[in-house]
Amino acid sequence: MSEQLAFRPATELAELLRRKEVSSAELTRHYIDRIERHDGALNAVVVRRFEQALEEAQVADAALARGESLGALHGVPLTIKESYVMAGTPATWGIEAQRDNVADADGLVVSRFRAAGAHFLGKTNVPVDLADVQSYNPIYGTTNNPWNVERTPGGSSGGSAAAAAAGFSALEAGSDIGGSIRTPAHFCGVFGHKPTWGIVPMSGHEIVPHVPDPDLSVCGPLARSAEDLAVALDIMAGPTEREATGWQLALPEPGFKSLADLRVAVWPTDDIAPVSAETQARVRMVADTLARLGATVSDTARPDFDVRNAHLVYQNLLTAVMSSGQPAAQIERIRQRVEKLDPEDQSADAVAARASVMSHRDWIRHDFRRERLRRAWDAFFRDWDVLICPQFAVPAIPHDHAPFAERSTIVDGEARPYMESIFWSGVVIASYLPSTALPTGPSSEGLPIGVQVVGAPYRDRKTIECARLIAQEIGGFTPPPALAG
């Protein structure tokens, strides 16, 4: 079986299965073989259920032989982020104390993929508590980037992006609260979609069952084509059973026929989070391509808000979510530290410490500020269809497991704060906007560079379609050279 089959989009594989040009069992064995041959160097697929996957593939083949009605991904083998709930597998989030947290039933997103006919080869690696732009933890170890094992694949959906890029499965699903789908997609050269907040239920992406959907966080797909993102989003999105009593999701169609129809704003860099010259050039290359094709393009149009205040709102809201599970003793230690802070200290550490112990009244004030940001974006997207911007300052960064305060990101020779690039994720997340990351080709070092296509709330189909058409012009996913043969 050709190695290139492993890199075909999931939608193409589903069509091959329907035409009986390949069987689900053959395709599943092919992916298992690739994982067994190549994943020793990457450590992406850290929970494996190969025997069950082969049994499920045989069931899929039998259903096809009987001519039964098929789902969109019938017989297609997937992997999924470790943090999703799947029967018989652990959902530890990389936390040592959760090592034995094995699910007895599938969560909602897993169930929806199964209803579409897919089955799962296993689960992919994450950082501790999904809280890093690298993917390593004491349970499963470190995941490496398939383009260069000395680099990280990103986080927190780093294993997901690495598996998709390496041709270990047909499709992946991750989650995103700080760029956790889009940064790994950028680092590994694949497509990723952060949906509008609230359209994909978070039920089944949890350690403790039956918790409310957290603010900011979303579940979404990673893939080797934008077409696959669209199909996966259709499968994942929609109300829970309880919510379906009162509402159904009806995302609007893209609303344009060609890239020439689009009004495109371009934001190549910003003083609050400078990106490398090569990354800026890649954003401008996409913009130039759109302009050449007839799109209206502006590199000066911006939403009407102060970017530093916008980022401060995101930092506070993010920390409120991430600190919500901290034990009382830890919160008390942070509270004592906050009492000693200089009121003028607005460093990222100081902001995070204050946000960890802020009152509900303070959170509501930040939510009011968020609403003003959302209204500014509403006004912006009345004039512009999409925004093109970076996802991260540089391509995939080297592994660095030092304490956060001791890490940095090197941007054109200058050491910048490690988490500074989260601005490019947060400015989208805080206002619940959809964003599609797409690859634009390798850097001078041979590492992928991606960009974001950002749209108005619920315009998910527009950003995905825009990414699809851009990829047609500039080239989409290409396999990492070491894994292509």
In Å, what is the CA distance from 204 to each residue of 93, 161, 175, 211, 396?
13, 20, 12, 10, 30
In Å, what is the CA distance from 330 to each residue of 93, 132, 277, 356, 474?
20, 20, 41, 10, 49
- Identify whether 83 is a catalytic site residue: no
Tokens of 440: 């634009």
Active-site residue, from 23, 24, 83, 156: 156
Chain centroid offset of residue 28 CA? 24
Contacts of 12 (CB under 8 A, 6+ apart): none
Contacts of 451 (CB under 8 A, 6+ apart): 186, 282, 283, 286, 388, 389, 390, 391, 437, 438, 440
Distance CA 89, CA 49 (A): 8
Active-site residue, from 23, 135, 180, 225: 180
Closest CA to 376 of 433, 425, 334, 329: 433
The amino acid present at 480, given as its one-letter code, is P
Tokens of 435: 């964003």
Contact 386, 372 (CB under 8 A): no
SS3 377: helix
Distance CA 328, CA 269 (A): 40
Active-site residue, from 81, 123, 194, 462: 81
- Identify whether 135 is a catalytic site residue: no
- Identify whether 156 is a catalytic site residue: yes
Instruction: Give the catalytic positions in this structure.
Output: 81, 156, 180
